[in-house]
Amino acid sequence: GAVVSQHPSWVICKSGTSVKIECRSLDFQATTMFWYRQFPKQSLMLMATSNEGSKATYEQGVEKDKFLINHASLTLSTLTVTSAHPEDSSFYICSALDKVVNQPQHFGDGTRLSIL
């Protein structure tokens, strides 16, 4: 089945550091990728929609300068949390949508980000 690889799976860093998370579709082409954030015991909250070759569409309340998204190819999207602070600590999950119509989203395994 379709596989989405998300890297890293866990990162701990100091406040003020910028952290890049990668999301790759391994065996299909994804024109659209999505980035979610999940706090403990809560549901996934969509942060942004990333389209290959164009600017990402951010959900209301998500700072685009804080969460930089780049979707440079049909198999790779990156999320960079800039100048991360403890309140940015969360579980970040990406998903990728096959360009074939009516296919489900395929999710990465998530990245646990802990900012000290």
Partner 1 sequence: SQQGEEDPQALSIQEGENATMNCSYKTSINNLQWYRQNSGRGLVHLILIRSNEREKHSGRLRVTLDTSKKSSSLLITASRAADTASYFCAPCQGGSEKLVFGKGMKLTVNP
Using CB under 8 A as the binding rule, whether residue 54 contacts partner 1 is answered as no
Binding to partner 1 (CB under 8 A) within 15-44 occurs at 31-32, 34, 36, 42-44
Distance CA 18, CA 98 (A): 29
Distance CA 28, CA 104 (A): 12
Using CB under 8 A as the binding rule, whether residue 76 contacts partner 1 is answered as no
Question: Phi/psi class of residue 57: alpha, beta or left (left: φ > 0; alpha: ψ in -120 to 50)?
Answer: beta
Q: Which span (61-69, 70-78, 79-87, 91-99) binds partner 1, by CB under 8 A?
A: 91-99
Using CB under 8 A as the binding rule, whether residue 106 contacts partner 1 is answered as yes
Return the structure tokens found at 29.
């082409």
Q: Whole-angstrom distance between the N-terminal and C-terminal Cα of the chain? A: 37
Using CB under 8 A as the binding rule, whether residue 84 contacts partner 1 is answered as no
Q: E strands within 44-101? A: 44-51, 57-58, 67-73, 76-81, 90-98
Identify the residue among 7, 17, 46, 70 touching partner 1 (CB under 8 A): 46
User: Which positions touch partner 1 (CB under 8 A)?
Assistant: 4, 6, 31-32, 34, 36, 42-44, 46, 49, 51, 91, 93, 95, 97, 101-110, 112
